[in-house]
Structure 1
Amino acid sequence: MAFTDAEKTDIRRFCGFPLFGGVPTQAFGHRFYQQYGTLEFRLNNMQPSEEAVIRVTYLANLYLLETDVISTRENLDTDQAAVWVHNKNEQRDRDRLFDSWSRRLCGFLGIPPGPALGDGGLTLVV
């Protein structure tokens, strides 16, 4: 079964690509990146077994991880309670885990991560 529009939107998002938008009227933007064209082609031309891997392994886990990242806001006010000590790096750790799974999805799709994921390395601004 082909991906729904909502699933395609989530896959693009998890892969670090901006929204697709409506009908293209200008020849610029992310739609004209080679990797974006490859992503769209693959989303529309997968075998059912490949779609199943994306739905069951990647999308299911990424939805949960995204919720986990958002839910860290509930713990940001606690520094220490009794013997329990909040992991001060919880937000960073969850972000890294989420980004790691997003990059794995990109790897499975055979595309480099989109602009929102960056290259995963250190960026120096001089």
Structure 2
Amino acid sequence: MTPPDCACDDEPYNGPLSLEELVQIRRMMGYPAFGGVNSGQQSWRFFQAYGFNEWRIRNMSPDEYMQIRRHLADCHRLEREVYGASGNLDTDQAAVWTRNKSEVSDRIGIYRWARMQLCQFMGIPPGPGLTGRGTAIVI
């Protein structure tokens, strides 16, 4: 079951995360796409980098799953608000209303903060997509 789009619903689903939710958690936490079974995920490099994260994500208590879903709903809402702010970029001043020139960066900052809160709650360090660090290639 996909969680509702509001972090304040009375009785959110508290069962294991769906595959779609797992993808969204990884994405919100700044981790790259997981790939298919034949993508090399069985190698020691995969388990060294992501194995603990996967174990942690898949082994939470029902109450923790509910909280994770609340965080995800908040992150999705904030992400949509960042994209929605682009509708105001063409207007610098209209009547007495003046556009907040830092609206997009402000919204991105709040969205980034919410994603970091998800990482902190789950006890998993933020991924390279959230920290701004690239991935290292080990040969």
Letter in 1 for 2:20: A
* Residue identity opposite 1:49 in structure 2: D
Root-mean-square deviation (CA, aligned residues, Å) is 1.9
Q: Distance in 2 between matches of 1:99 and 1:33?
A: 26
User: Normalising by structure 1, what TM-score?
Assistant: 0.85
Matching residue of 1:123? none
| Structure 2 equivalent of residue 14 of structure 1 | 28
The aligned counterpart of 2:120 is 107
Q: Where does residue 87 of structure 2 map in the other structure? A: 74
Q: Which position in structure 1 is the counterpart of 2:40?
A: 25
Alignment size in residue pairs: 117
Q: What percent of counterpart residues are identical?
A: 44
**Within 1, Cα distance between the matches of 2:121 and 2:80?**
22
Q: Take 2:36 and 2:93, find their aligned partners in 1: how far apart are those partners?
A: 48
Q: 1:103 to 1:38 in 2, by over 3 A?
A: same
Match for residue 75 of structure 2 among 62, 75, 97 = 62
Runs of 4+ with deviation above 6 angstroms: none
CA contact (8 A) 1:3 1:51 kept: yes
Give the aligned residue type for 2:125: P
Structure 1 residues 115 and 33: alpha-carbon distance in aligned structure 2, compared to 1, 3 A threshold: farther
Contact 1:103–1:113 (Cα < 8 Å) also in 2? yes
Structure 1's unaligned 5+ residue stretches are 121-126
